[in-house]
Amino acid sequence: MNGSAVPMNTPLDEPNDNPQGAVAVTALAPAKAPVEPTGLTPARRRLLMASFFVLVMAIWHFAVVLLQVSPLIFPGPLAVTRALVELVQSGEIVKHLGVTLYEILAGFAFGAIFGLVLGALIGQSALLEAVLYPYVVAFQTVPKVAVAPLFVLWFGFDTTSKVVITATIVFFPVLANTIVGLRSAPRDQIELMRAFTASPWHVFKMVRLPHALPYVFAGLEIGIVLAVIGAIVGEFVGAQAGLGYLILQRNFSMDAAGMFAVLVVLSLIGLMLHSLMKFIARRVIFWTEAFTDLSRGS
C-alpha cells in the first residue's frame, strides 16, 4: 500500500489552496484499506473457520462413537444438538436465560460504574491512591469464588447475591485500567493545555479522560467476560433459577447432553456480549484501533 508515492493515487480531496500541495501530498499517510493480516479475503477466512468447526465436530462425533464413550459421561455432538433443541423448544430456557442475563448485565453495570468512579478518583489523587489502592489490591487477591457463599448468606438465594458477586469480579479490571488510562496522557499534551491556562478540570475533561477511554474499554471487555463467570459461580453456590442452576440440575439427573446444551448457550452469551462491547468500543474510541486488541488477553 505505497500509493502515496504515486501522485495519481492521492486522495481527491486534496486542498487546492495549499501552496505546498506537492510536499504535503507525498507525506500523507497511505489510505487505510481493510487488509486482513492473514492475507485472506473475509469470505475465505469465514469458509476456513466453518471448515474447522465441521472438522472438530466430526472428530468429536467419531471419537465418541469409535471409543464407545457412554453418553452419560461424554455425549456426542448430535446428542448435544438434540438436547439444545429440546431446551429451546420446551421454552424452559427462556426463564433461566432471562435470570442469568439480568445477573450478568446488572452485575456488570454496578461493577463497571463503581470501578470507573473509584478509578477516576484514585487516578486523579495521589493521596487516595496511597491510602486506598493497597486495600483494593488486597481485596482483589481474595478469590471471589471463595467469598460467594458469604454473599449468598447475606443477600439470599435470589438474584441479588449473584449481582453482587458479579459486580465484585467486574470491578477490578475496570478500576485498574481506568487508573492506568488516566495516567497515560502524554506530558507535553498536559503542558500545552496548561500553557493555554487550562484548569485541572479542563485537563481532565479534554485530555486525561479521552486518553483513558481505550484502556477503560479494554477493562470493560475483560469485565463483560468475567461477568458471565460471576453470575454462574453465584448460581452454583445457591440459586433458584438461572443457567448455572440449570447446569447443576442436569448434573444431578446425570444428563450430560443437557449440561453441554446449557454450556453452548452460555458461551453464545459470552461471545455476543463481548462482540457488543467491541462494537461499542470501536465507535466510541474511533481514533485508535490497536488498543482493544492489545489488552484483550490480559
Partner 1 sequence: MNMPLTPQQAEAPAFSFDRLQKEFRSKDGGDVIALRDVGFEVRNGEFVTVVGPSGCGKSTLLRILAGLERASSGTVALGGKAVTGPSRDIGVVFQAPVLLPWRTVLQNVLVPAQIQGRDIKVATERAMHYLALVGLGNFATKYPGELSGGMQQRVGIARAFVNDPMLLLMDEPFGALDAMTRETMNLELHKLKERTGATIMLVTHSIPEAVFLGDRVVVMSPRPGRVTQIVEVDLPHPRSLDMINTDRFGAYVSSIRTNLNAAGGLD
Binding residues for partner 1, rule: CB under 8 A, are: 13-20, 23-24, 27-29, 186, 188-189, 191-199, 202, 206-207, 210, 285-288
Which lies closer to partner 1 via its Cβ, residue 218 or residue 246? 218
Residue 29 vs 73, nearer CB to partner 1:
29
Place of cell 440440575: 249
Neighbouring residues of 298: CB distance < 8 A, sequence distance ≥ 6:
218, 222
Q: d(Cα 173, Cα 104) in Å, to the nearest integer? A: 16
Cell numbers 481527491 correspond to 12
- CB of residue 179 to partner 1, shortest distance in Å: 20
Least distance in angstroms from the C-beta of 184 to partner 1: 13
Shortest distance, position 243 Cβ to partner 1, whole Å? 39
Note whether 112 and 174 are within 8 A (CB).
yes
Cα 290 to Cα 44, 268, 294, distances in angstroms:
24, 25, 6
Nearest-angstrom CA–CA distance, 233 and 221: 19
* Closer CB to partner 1, 81 or 288, in the complex: 288
CB nearer to partner 1: give 70 or 197.
197
- Minimum CB separation from partner 1 for residue 188, in Å? 5
CB of 217 to partner 1, least distance (A): 13
Of 12 and 66, nearer to partner 1 (C-beta) is: 12
Q: Are 159 and 202 spatial neighbours (Cβ–Cβ below 8 Å)?
A: no
CB of 123 to partner 1, least distance (A): 19
For partner 1, the closer CB: 83 or 193:
193
* Cβ neighbours for 107, distance < 8 A, ≥ 6 positions apart: 162, 163, 164, 165, 166, 167, 169, 170, 227, 230, 231
Cβ-contact 244, 96 below 8 angstroms = no
- Residue whose CB is less far from partner 1, 135 or 287: 287
Residue 227: CB minimum distance to partner 1, A: 27
Q: What is the DSSP string of 117-164?
A: HHHHHHHH-HHHHHHHHHHHHHHHHS-HHHHHHHHHHHH-SSHHHHHH
